[in-house]
């Protein structure tokens, strides 16, 4: 329901190694484990906080990933720490796969590292042609990755903004600590999606408050435009942040497919509702 994932048995060293090989993913970037229900999630945790039960009851199945202390008998999933990131997806195909396999499945986005996340089966086939099987579940409904919340401290901490908004989370948790600084590539982390450059198309992405008045001299052509207001733009998305997010990656794929060399993006509003979209665009524009 978020983006297409590249699934493998989360606690098989060989299977997880294939994820890293196919994606060309750096070893320090951890993976999220997907399970069929809350009971399976608890089995992966050393301790299961009360807030985890409250959040799971409200938002699972759904686009929320919880980071908890990993059960001591389990190996790390691509990260040199004692935590595990877990979620229960809200998509019939994914849940049927989890139930049929009986396995916890690591499933990062099914694309090459740093490139645009896939929201259709076709995106997966083009990005990862060596993957032997793609389950086509239709276009992703959320179109953006899950929100990741770290429950290992006294106050829940946001590691990655995503499909589930902070307002809904605060209704359950109260205070949430927001990231104060950027995580350097190579540094230890409890969640994916924290790299400086990520979610990027082949074209160069440039964020501007006013894309129409941007000086285009010196920019590589052809130039595509992504905006959320009416005007003579190549791609106009919704001014509703959830609807914008749902089509963001697909729009970037379309512009890449059109062969543009530069994508001018109208900066989204500096409001909490647009936090996840701003996060993705900022990382896509990083050089």
pLDDT in tens, 7-43: 999 999 999 999 999 999 888 888 999 999 999 999 9
Give the residue carrying structure tokens 């829940």: 156
> Is 199 annotated to bind ligand?
yes
* pLDDT given for residue 287 in this prediction: 80
Q: Count of alpha carbons within 13 Å of 88, Cβ hemisphere only?
A: 18
What are the pLDDT digits (tens) for 238-279? 999 999 999 999 999 999 999 999 999 999 999 999 999 999
* pLDDT given for residue 54 in this prediction: 97
Strand order in the sheet with 147-150: 8-9, 105-106, 32-34, 83-87, 64-69, 147-150, 157-160
Distance from C-alpha of 116 to C-alpha of 123, rounded to nearest angstrom: 9
In CATH, the number for domain 8-173 is: 3.90.870.10
> Is 239 annotated to bind ligand?
no
Non-local CB neighbours of 51 within 8 Å, separated by 6+ positions = 151, 156, 172, 173
Distance from C-alpha of 81 to C-alpha of 244, rounded to nearest angstrom: 35
Question: With bands split at pLDDT 50, 70 and 90, how would you rate the model's confidence at 90?
Answer: very high
Domains 8-173 and 204-285 share a fold: no
* pLDDT given for residue 80 in this prediction: 67
CATH class of 204-285: alpha beta
What are the pLDDT digits (tens) for 73-85? 988 776 668 999 9
> Is 146 annotated to bind ligand?
yes
Of 8, 61, 271, 52, the closest CA to residue 169 belongs to 52
Q: Is 48 helix (H, G, I), strand (E, B) or coil?
A: coil
Domain extents for the chain? 8-173, 204-285
> Is 202 annotated to bind ligand?
no
> Is 4 annotated to bind ligand?
no
> Is 2 annotated to bind ligand?
yes
* pLDDT given for residue 148 in this prediction: 96
What would the mean pLDDT of 136-147 be, rounded to a whole number?
96
Q: Which of 179 and 120 is assigned the larger pLDDT?
A: 120
> Is 29 annotated to bind ligand?
yes
> Is 117 annotated to bind ligand?
yes
> Is 25 annotated to bind ligand?
yes
Rg (the chain; Cα; Å): 19
Burial (CB < 10 A; 0-12, 13-18, 19+), residue 257, is exposed
* pLDDT given for residue 84 in this prediction: 95
Q: What are phi and psi of 118, to 5 degrees?
A: -85, 135
Q: Cα separations (Å) of 117 from 94, 108, 127, 249, 279?
A: 17, 9, 9, 6, 14
What would the mean pLDDT of 213-233 be, rounded to a whole number?
85
Distance from C-alpha of 73 to C-alpha of 55, rounded to nearest angstrom: 25
Question: With bands split at pLDDT 50, 70 and 90, how would you rate the model's confidence at 233?
Answer: low
Examine the pLDDT at 186 and tell me if it is beyond 60.
Answer: no
> Is 34 annotated to bind ligand?
yes
* pLDDT given for residue 187 in this prediction: 61
Examine the pLDDT at 124 and tell me if it is beyond 90.
Answer: yes
Q: Contact at 8 Å (CB) between 146 and 88?
A: no
């Amino acid at each position: 329901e978020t983006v297409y994932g590249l699934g493998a048995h989360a606690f098989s060293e060989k299977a997880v190694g294939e994820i890293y090989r196919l994606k060309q993913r750096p070893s320090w970037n951890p993976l999220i484990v997907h399970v069929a229900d809350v009971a399976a999630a608890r089995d992966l945790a050393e301790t299961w906080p009360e807030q985890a039960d409250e959040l799971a009851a409200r938002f699972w199945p759904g686009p929320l990933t919880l980071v908890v202390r990993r059960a001591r008998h389990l190996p790390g999933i691509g990260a040199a720490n004692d935590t595990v990131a877990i979620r229960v997806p809200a998509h019939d195909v994914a849940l049927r796969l989890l139930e049929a396999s009986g396995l916890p499945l690591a499933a990062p986005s099914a694309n090459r590292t740093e490139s645009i996340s896939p929201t259709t089966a076709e995106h997966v086939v083009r990005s990862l042609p060596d993957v032997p099987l793609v389950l086509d579940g239709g276009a992703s409904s959320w179109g953006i990755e899950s929100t990741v919340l770290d429950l290992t401290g006294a106050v829940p901490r946001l590691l990655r903004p995503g499909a589930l908004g902070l307002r809904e989370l605060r209704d359950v948790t109260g205070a949430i600590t927001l990231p104060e600084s950027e995580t350097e590539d190579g540094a230890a982390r409890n969640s994916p999606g924290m790299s400086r450059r990520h979610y990027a198309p082949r074209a160069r992405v440039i964020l501007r408050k006013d894309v129409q008045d941007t000086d285009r001299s010196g920019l590589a052509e052809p130039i595509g435009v992504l905006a959320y207001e009416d005007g003579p733009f190549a791609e106009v998305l919704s001014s509703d942040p959830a609807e914008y997010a749902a089509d963001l990656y697909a729009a970037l794929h379309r512009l890449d497919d059109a062969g543009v060399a530069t994508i001018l993006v109208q900066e989204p509003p500096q409001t909490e509702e647009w936090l996840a979209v701003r996060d993705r665009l900022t990382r896509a524009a990083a050089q």
